Amino acid sequence: MNNLLTTEHLDREVLEELLDESDGFAEVLTRPIPKVPALRGKTVATMFFEPSTRTRMSFEKAAKALSADTVTFSPGTSALSKGESLKDTALTIRAMGVDLMVVRHKATGVAWRLAEWLDIPIVNGGDGAHQHPTQALLDCLTIRQHFGSLDGLKIAIVGDIKHSRVARSDIFAMTTLGAQVVLVGPPTLLPIDPEVWPISVAHSIDEVLDDIDVVYLLRVQTERGGGSVFPSESEYTRRFGMTSDRFARLRPEAIVMHPGPMNRGVEIGYDVADDDRALILQQVSNGVATRMAVLFRLLGGDHDA
């Protein structure tokens, strides 16, 4: 593994190894000094061309917990606003002595281009509506910690699948690890041909409610046009929201997840988000451990083939 761009072609063995390592790094984060010197002297650049709170901070925290240095690129205050191209920006930052880049961009495939241009590992921190592999890893870790394994679990991904890189990454990782995934959403928020994926589709959340182990809620992505395809927020909530009523109908061992940022009262009920069976903050904590595993895998010593 020389880059982490997508979950699509990660085989089960690699996924399981990354999750095992993530569990190990999760233990590091519970120590009195939650830090190891494994990546001392390495520099990780976070290049986020799109807004982000948790992913960028999570990568920075992960890098620092491995004793790597971090440098941050913000498009607003950069020479990009003076007309510098993406490639020149990337080459410039590489030339400063950066050992790995995490990149987020609104355009699909940017991480692949960087991987071609640069001779250092690239981690895709989200490209458009395409992929967000570390999110999928932390989601799978959270589920595995709760159930022990993903094998045979039924997972419903609910909402704006069409604009969701999280869904695209989760689908591959979860099914590779043995889960059955059902996508739930209005036809307008599903991709045009979901049959190409190893999943099933339902158009009503109530259809699947009493049969699933994990409800994975997505935010309606108004910035990508997700808000214009249904009449109103309350209509969305009525048909697809995880309200307290629906939450009460879930199997007692079922859990609720959300990649954040969440809109309480829209896709998730106010109280549901705070329930013990909503693992949303555990997902965030796991994000740091997972990203440590990814950074260490790509930067820690001898690269495997």
Chain residues in the site for another protein (CB under 8 A): 17, 20-21, 24-25, 27-28, 31-33, 35-38, 66, 293, 296, 300-302, 304
| 26 vs 199, beta carbon nearer another protein | 26
Q: Which two tokens stand for residue 150?
A: 């993903």
Give me the least distance between CB of 17 and another protein, in Å please: 8
Give me the least distance between CB of 253 and another protein, in Å please: 27
Tokens 């796991």, residue located: 286
| 33 vs 196, beta carbon nearer another protein | 33
Give me the least distance between CB of 38 and another protein, in Å please: 4
- Cα distances from 230 to residues 187, 222, 258, 284, in angstroms, run 10, 11, 21, 29
CA distance linking residue 39 with residue 70, whole number of Å: 11
Give me the least distance between CB of 267 and another protein, in Å please: 35
For residue 135, how many C-alpha atoms fall within 13 Å in the half-sphere facing its CB? 30
| 70 vs 131, beta carbon nearer another protein | 70
| 253 vs 302, beta carbon nearer another protein | 302
| 97 vs 152, beta carbon nearer another protein | 97
| 39 vs 123, beta carbon nearer another protein | 39
Tokens 């999928």, residue located: 136
- Helix (H) or strand (E) holding 103, with range, is strand 100-105
| 66 vs 111, beta carbon nearer another protein | 66
CB of 111 within 8 A of CB of 289? no
In the sheet that holds 100-105, the strands lie side by side as 69-73, 43-48, 100-105, 122-127
CA distance linking residue 191 with residue 160, whole number of Å: 9
> Counting runs of H as helices and runs of E as strands, what totals does the chain give?
10, 9
Give me the least distance between CB of 12 and another protein, in Å please: 17
In the sheet that holds 255-257, the strands lie side by side as 200-202, 180-184, 154-158, 214-217, 255-257
